[in-house]
Amino acid sequence: MGRTFVGMPPFPVAARTALADSQLRRNLAHATGTIRGKRAGAVAELEDWEDLGAQAAAVKDRTLAHLDEHLVALEEALSARGATVHWARDAADACAVVADVARRHGIDEVVKVKSMATQEIGLNEALAEQGIAAWETDLAELIVQLGDDLPSHILVPAIHRNRAEIRDIFRTRMAAAGRPAPDDLTDDPAALAAAARLHLREKFLSARMAVSGANFAVAETGTLVVVESEGNGRMCLTLPDVLVSVVGIEKVVPTWRDLDLFLRLLPRSSTGERMNPYTSMWTGVTPGDGPQEVHVVLLDNGRTRALADEYARQALRCIRCSACLNVCPVYERVGGHAYGSVYPGPIGAIINPLLRGVGQDPQVDALPYASTLCGACGDVCPVAIDIPGVLVHLRTAVVDAHRSDTRPTAEALAVRAAAWTLGDARRLALAEKAAGGAGRVRRGRGMPGGRGAVSWLPFAGSRWTGARDLPLPPRESFRAWWRRGGGTEEGRR
């Protein structure tokens, strides 16, 4: 059974642990910096990049506004081409469909194309409970699976690992999963890729069933689309007899003309390539060619909940390019595991609360706060999702969800105390006087007007001063200055 995110601590706790890992920060800074540079070059080649993004956002918004109609059209087209369509309300429904198909064929081993949706529903673990082994075939996913690890990036799930760590994982773990790594394996990327290729080739040739997701589903013809870089997806989608694709309902695009927009945006925004190396498309069953039994599981799992939020539903435009992760200063320092989900980074901070709802799980409620609101994620998003705006919107939702809590948080108490103080002029005047006296004062450099700072306050002020300085209040408050006539010519003299 693989590791899961279930039971992960809330972001502030997990981030503190991650920040202590300097190797992790080095790996992340190197990887995200490289991808950022490549992406910037690929995007700069297109003069109409912004315009393409605006068009793509408009297509997604129009589609989401009539999602019911487009999904029915997709179902009809898929059924007409020989695919069996299943509707899954949640993760359990979807996993049950996949397990049932495998059981009916007596299959105990499946190969998988990299798929966020199947990770979201915990498919590998659900299949393992039924005695069915699911093998990841994407190189980075294979590294994560063999290392009994968790993915930490949408596009590069093993971004937190360096070459030497990957060599050690292959050397020690590959044999238990199939063909072993060569004894003399080095950490040369070509050697690592060759070892993975040989290991996976045996899986492709023996598997009778594959499981995939889909980047897009074209409603007008019932065509599913997977874009990838390694060719493992093409192997999975063509060699086995049975194919099950788990597709989030927001993946639907009405027409091929719409798809064209997204295929131009996605590779440049994700890997910084003009075109991704492999784009596989399949439409139901083609007699004598490829899988002869095709199932498509249309997955809700919280998407209709997100859709009900008229402002935040824009998050469902996401094409999982991961550009927002690569520019995020928070993600670059803490990595993906701290977000406690297969969707990390800025998109994870909004999509997890939207899919799962707020007010029930402290881990989910912490995510909208896992941001400095610097805005880099929103600037870089190819489908113009206002991620900072949705983060603020969700913070409001989290606060609203806890208004009736019988045990308020320290933050809520502090805000109530501030409201009480600010609600009365005399109370405010007293507080202003007291502010200069509490805590430990550091005079001097770096503060506005050279005023010095409060470097330590007792609880709950210590929640602030534990990590930052608090500028020292001016010696004279505004109201004292005003009373002695500071607002007049005379007073200023």
Residue range at the interface with ligand SF4 (CB under 6 A); choices 57-65, 213-221, 322-330, 479-487 = 322-330
- Closer to ligand SF4 at the Cβ: 282 or 343? 343
338 binds ligand SF4 (CB under 6 A): no
- By CB under 6 A, the count of residues binding ligand SF4 is 13
- Closer to ligand SF4 at the Cβ: 200 or 259? 259
Residue range at the interface with ligand SF4 (CB under 6 A); choices 1-9, 226-234, 238-246, 381-389 = 381-389
- Closer to ligand SF4 at the Cβ: 135 or 262? 262
- Closer to ligand SF4 at the Cβ: 301 or 314? 314
CB of residue 266 vs ligand SF4: minimum separation in angstroms? Answer: 8
CB of residue 270 vs ligand SF4: minimum separation in angstroms? Answer: 7
318 binds ligand SF4 (CB under 6 A): yes
CB of residue 241 vs ligand SF4: minimum separation in angstroms? Answer: 34
Residue range at the interface with ligand SF4 (CB under 6 A); choices 244-252, 318-326, 438-446, 485-493 = 318-326
Using CA atoms, how far apart are residues 222 and 74, in angstroms rounded to an integer? 5
253 binds ligand SF4 (CB under 6 A): no
42 binds ligand SF4 (CB under 6 A): no
Q: Which of 163, 243, 235 is nearest to 199 (CA)?
A: 235
383 binds ligand SF4 (CB under 6 A): yes
56 binds ligand SF4 (CB under 6 A): no
Using CA atoms, how far apart are residues 15 and 331, in angstroms rounded to an integer? 10
Residue range at the interface with ligand SF4 (CB under 6 A); choices 11-19, 50-58, 187-195, 314-322 = 314-322
CB under 8 Å to 160, separation ≥6 — which residues? 24, 27, 28, 152, 153, 335, 336, 337
381 binds ligand SF4 (CB under 6 A): yes
155 binds ligand SF4 (CB under 6 A): no
3-state secondary structure the chain: CCCCCCCCCCHHHHHHHHHCCHHHHHHHHHHHHHHHHHHHHHHHCCCCHHHHHHHHHHHHHHHHHCHHHHHHHHHHHHHHCCCEEEEECCHHHHHHHHHHHHHHCCCCEEEECCCHHHHHCCHHHHHHHCCCEEEECCHHHHHHHHCCCCCCCCCCCCCCCCHHHHHHHHHHHHHHHCCCCCCCCCCCHHHHHHHHHHHHHHHHHHCCEEEECCCEEECCCCEEEEEECCCHHHHHHHCCCEEEEEEEHHHEECCHHHHHHHHHHHHHHHCCCCCCCEEEEECCCECCECCCEEEEEEECCCHHHHHCCCCHHHHHHCCCCCHHHHHCHHHHHHCCHHHCCCCCHHHHHHHHHHHHCCCCCHHHHHHHHCCCCCCHHHHHCCCCCCHHHHHHHHHHHHHHHCCCCCCCCHHHHHHHHHHHHHCCHHHHHHHHHHHCCCCEEECCCCCHHHCCEEEECCCCCHHHHCCCCEECCCCCCHHHHHHCCCCCHHHHC
226 binds ligand SF4 (CB under 6 A): no
CB of residue 381 vs ligand SF4: minimum separation in angstroms? Answer: 3
Cβ atoms 325, 153 nearer than 8 A: yes
Cβ atoms 174, 160 nearer than 8 A: no
CB of residue 323 vs ligand SF4: minimum separation in angstroms? Answer: 4
Q: Which of 97, 121, 200, 319 binds ligand SF4 (CB under 6 A)?
A: 319
Cβ atoms 373, 190 nearer than 8 A: no
- Closer to ligand SF4 at the Cβ: 73 or 318? 318
Q: Which of 124, 322, 341, 363 binds ligand SF4 (CB under 6 A)?
A: 322
Residue range at the interface with ligand SF4 (CB under 6 A); choices 31-39, 276-284, 376-384, 442-450 = 376-384
152 binds ligand SF4 (CB under 6 A): no
Q: Which of 74, 116, 235, 323 binds ligand SF4 (CB under 6 A)?
A: 323
Residue range at the interface with ligand SF4 (CB under 6 A); choices 86-94, 240-248, 292-300, 375-383 = 375-383
CB of residue 320 vs ligand SF4: minimum separation in angstroms? Answer: 5
- The binding track of 340-369 with respect to ligand SF4, each residue x by CB under 6 A or -, is -------x----------------------
CB of residue 367 vs ligand SF4: minimum separation in angstroms? Answer: 14
- Closer to ligand SF4 at the Cβ: 74 or 324? 324
Q: How many residues does the chain have?
A: 493
382 binds ligand SF4 (CB under 6 A): yes
Q: Which of 28, 35, 113, 321 binds ligand SF4 (CB under 6 A)?
A: 321
Q: Give the strand pairing for 84-88 and 109-112.
A: unpaired
385 binds ligand SF4 (CB under 6 A): yes
324 binds ligand SF4 (CB under 6 A): yes
Which stretches of the chain bind ligand SF4, using CB under 6 A? 318-324, 347, 380-383, 385
